[in-house]
Amino acid sequence: MKKIRKSFRLPIKILKTLIKDSIQYPTRIVVDTIAILARCGILLILYWYVFKLSNGVINGTTFIFAAWSIFFYFSFMLLRLRDISRLMMQDIQSGNVEVLFSKPISYLSYRMWWQVGSGLYSFVVITILAAIALGLIIGLPYTMVIGIFIPTLLLTFLCGIVLSLFMYAIVGLLSFWIEDINPVFWIVDKIVMILGGSYLPVALFPPLMKKIALYTPFGASQFVTHTVYESWQTNWYQLVGIQLFWIVLLGLVAYFMFLKAREKVSVNGG
């Protein structure tokens, strides 16, 4: 029991510190609010007009399902988990990673908890307020009021966080071998954006693109956008299973890359 408490002491301290800083310096939440209004808000207005021109139905999907799917994508992005790649690159280029390696903490664990904590306050506040506003404006699809929705939403949301952190941490770890990871980051990030259902809801994907979104880690990291659709009630366990598979695989890849990175630092006298 003491070991468990000790292992959670650092993450809790990191989260408390970053949330406190976010409350005292609300600049980030203002920027995030403007960003989600500019991107998600305008996109929803455009889709509302497109659905209206199509008699309310496109590819068997109505606007209310597409709107909530898009909203969940942009809400998830408020956590800014993708930023871990560039922060790790900065640590490596500045030499700060060598200092952190010498500390009695796991660098990967520290950096991942830091990333979650840095975006948590904005995510919670904006998501709650925006969800209430969206619900009042367009209502809730019936799939969001059944008993299975909230538990499975939370489950796939947490899996999405872990999977995203592992995926972008792998990109960040490449900085030990590649001086500038930005090209790799841009490729991975754009694929996630496309397959995650940012500007085109998953329900509107063509068959091949939908399969790619389902069976790759890029789309799996954004399965939270699938939770509003009717199919989620029958295949949620399959999609969560896919997420868990990629979490284990990418987690192992990140772990062994980290071990090689430590060896590289040691050999170079770090």
Residue 201 phi/psi, 5-degree rounding, is: -55, 145
Nearest 5°: CA angle at 116, between 79 and 187? 60
Q: What is the pLDDT of residue 75?
A: 92
Q: What is the pLDDT of residue 4?
A: 52
Dist CA 47 CA 44 (whole Å): 5
Q: What is the pLDDT of residue 102?
A: 72
Nearest to 153 by CA among 165, 166, 140: 140
Structural domain total, the chain:
1
What is the domain range of residue 18? 2-268
Dist CA 202 CA 193 (whole Å): 11
Q: Environment class of residue 207 by beta-carbon count within 10 Å: exposed (0-12), middle (13-18) or buried (19+)? A: exposed
Q: What is the pLDDT of residue 1?
A: 53
| Spacing of C-alpha 49 from chain mean position | 28
Q: What is the pLDDT of residue 198?
A: 82
Residues of the chain with pLDDT under 50: 269-270
> Please, which residues have CB within 8 angstroms of residue 256's CB and are 6 or more apart in sequence?
none
Q: What is the pLDDT of residue 148?
A: 93
Question: Position of tokens 């489950």?
Answer: 155
Q: What is the pLDDT of residue 135?
A: 94
Nearest to 140 by CA among 68, 89, 194, 212: 68
The angle that helices 207-215 and 232-267 make with each other, rounded to 10 degrees, is 50
Strands 57-58, 61-62: parallel, antiparallel or unpaired by DSSP?
antiparallel
Question: Position of tokens 């399959």?
Answer: 238
Per-residue HEC secondary structure of the chain comes to CHHHHHHHHHHHHHHHHHHHHHHHCCHHHHHHHHHHHHHHHHHHHHHHHHHHHCCCEECCEEHHHHHHHHHHHHHHHCCCHHHHHHHHHHHHHHCHHHHHHCCCCCHHHHHHHHHHHHHHHHHHHHHHHHHHHHHHHHCCCHHHCCCCHHHHHHHHHHHHHHHHHHHHHHHHHHHHCCCCCHHHHHHHHHHHHHHCCCCCCHHHCCHHHHHHHHHCHHHHCCHHHHCCCCCHHHHHHHHHHHHHHHHHHHHHHHHHHHHHHHHHHHHCCC
- pLDDT for 78-128, tens place per residue? 999 999 999 999 988 888 887 777 776 788 888 999 999 988 989 999 999
Cβ proximity of 121 and 15 under 8 Å: no
